[in-house]
Amino acid sequence: MIEKLRNIVEKFNQEISKEYYLQGAGLKDDIKFDEIYKKYPEIKDKENINILKQAISKNEDNPEESRKLTLFLENIYNEVISSELSSLSEELLLKEASGKIEINGKDAYFRSSMIEMINQEDRNIRESIRKKRNEFIDDNLNPIHVKIHNQEKELIEKLEYKNLIDMFQSLSGINLYTLNDSMQNFLKMSEDMYVDILSYYAKNKLNLKISELKKHDLLYILRGKEFDKFFPQQDLLPEMSKFVSKMGIDISAGNNIKFDLDIREKKSPRAFCSPVKIPSEVYLVIYPRGGENDYTSFLHELGHALHFANINNDLGFEYKWYGDNSVTEGYAMSLDHLTMNPIWMEKILGVNFKESKDYYIHRNFFELMMLRRYAGKLDYEIKLAEADSLKGMDEVYSEVLSDASKVHYSGTNYLEDVDGYFYVARYLRAWMFQANLHKCLRNKFNEDWFANPNAGKFLTDLWGLGQKFSAEELLEMNNCPSLSVNPVFDDINNALSN
Ligand SMILES: [Zn+2]
């Protein structure tokens, strides 16, 4: 019974992943999640929850099997909820993808208006695009978001959990309140440092005080076009291939990874990695535009791709597909953070540290802003899940996010800016995992571990374990410092005070 269910869910995951890849790569227009759900009616059968619960209690004295089944159960819960909400999610996606707003008398796609807004030099035009975007979200997207939020809440209660926090904590074993405490402490610790540097950029780039800043100003400050010269566009794949080969790593993991760097009109502007068959068919898709962001995003997705493509084939279905996503996000971040590492930049891209100090300040400012934003997001998402109704939650969102990032956030995105099933917690834990793992790699293999085949072997062995172990367990098994935000703070503090 369980084996049969594993086979069905694995085939379903493969089809969803392939659909996601084809649509995101711009090779296919529509996205037919509903059709795939229809092909696999077993997926949303609530009875699966009982079957798995019974199997877990039968396997109490078999920790290996019950560990797998618990991961399976967590994802079956999420499948049951997603399938109930799939028509609304499709409606939302369609509205978002086809929606248009008017900019300077011309129609523009809602999705691309974001890039237009960030690139706009004139602050008044930026502000008018922001207003048009918010009107579109309020009129077209928020009504669907509200329906999704309320239905999800109802479903969670029907499944006998108090709320999403209760469900997430019981199934994942991650305590959101402890994580939130340490992140709120991080906000306090980093406040002065952040305000100093934000004031500096506001004054120098926009001649504004920080009390006048809006979110689009922050995005504008963070563009960093002046550093594009360090990152030659045409060399991305060969350079990164040369880099990982210094660790003895094959960038395609024996052709398991297929790279798609072509320019295609309908390709998603966001890079992504799609594991269709693990480990043998993994896609890495990026729309290169030139500049630092290409390298950082490529390295992030490469971290995911190398992880999936190096997973031990006979590890078992649950450890390949499920588990603590802080781990795969942590591997992704351990590669993307290399563009913040002066030794890597010098050795791999030939960028001299002394001649590029502005770049590191910019990069660390970006890092600190993102961490503070995510700390705010976690606090808000906990409040959202605790709330009985949505009344006033847009104001809570605006308050919490504005306070964390010190720029004004409007309330409009209070449902749009929420990651499903507390993914925000996985990201924050990945940040910690990454900083701890880097510390560990430096201790074991020196500062230039990224050019050392022994470090390559160490990483490949870790990747082979899929997500069998949580971020905490992996650090403990390898005698690394335990999961905490301190090394994240130290890294930024060192970089910004030098
Ligand atoms: Zn990622």
- Strongest mean pLDDT among 17-31, 39-53, 183-197: 183-197
Q: CA 183 to CA 371: how far, in whole Å?
A: 9
Q: 497 pLDDT band (50/70/90 cuts)?
A: confident
State the residue range of the domain holding 57. 2-98+135-172
C-alpha 1 to ligand 1 mean position (Å): 33
Ligand 1 centre to CA of 426 (Å) is 10
As beta bridge partners, residue 275 has 282
Ligand 1 center from residue 433 Cα (angstroms): 13
Together in a domain, 226 and 78: no
pLDDT of the residue at 384: 98
Is the same domain home to 271 and 249? yes
Cα(303) to centroid of ligand 1, in Å? 8
Q: Ligand 1 centroid vs 325 CA: distance in angstroms? A: 9
Distance (Å) from CA 302 to ligand 1 centroid: 10
- C-alpha 332 – ligand 1 centre gap (Å): 6
Q: How far is the CA of 59 from the centre of ligand 1 (A)?
A: 33
Cα(77) to centroid of ligand 1, in Å? 22
Residue 126 lies in a domain: no
In a domain, 200, yes or no: yes
> Ligand 1: distance of its center to the CA of 127 in Å?
30
Task: Give me the CATH number covering residue 222.
Answer: 1.10.1370.30
Distance, in Å, from the CA atom of 203 to the CA atom of 85, rounded to the nearest integer, reads 46
pLDDT value at position 189?
97
If one counts the domains in the chain, the total is: 2
Residues 197, 263 contacting (CB under 8 angstroms): no
pTM of the full predicted structure? 0.95
Measured distance CA(112)–CA(16) in Å, rounded:
25
Alpha-helical (H) ranges within 387-422 are 393-405
The string of pLDDT tens digits covering residues 383-440 is 999 999 999 999 999 999 999 999 999 999 999 999 999 999 999 999 999 999 999 9
What pLDDT is recorded for position 439?
93
Task: Please give the pLDDT value at position 225.
Answer: 84
Residue 265 has pLDDT above 80, yes or no: no
Residues 212 and 153 both lie in one domain: no
- For residue range 313-341, what is the model confidence (pLDDT) as tens digits? 999 999 999 999 999 999 999 999 999 99
The pLDDT assigned to 369 comes to: 96
CA of 37 to the centre of ligand 1 (A): 25
Q: With a cut of 80, say whether residue 29 has pLDDT above it.
A: no
Digit-coded pLDDT (tens) for 161-172:
999 999 999 999
Q: Which of 127, 150, 172 is the last residue of a domain?
A: 172
Report, as an integer, the average pLDDT of 274-301.
95
What distance in angstroms lies between residue 480's CA and the mean position of ligand 1's atoms? 22
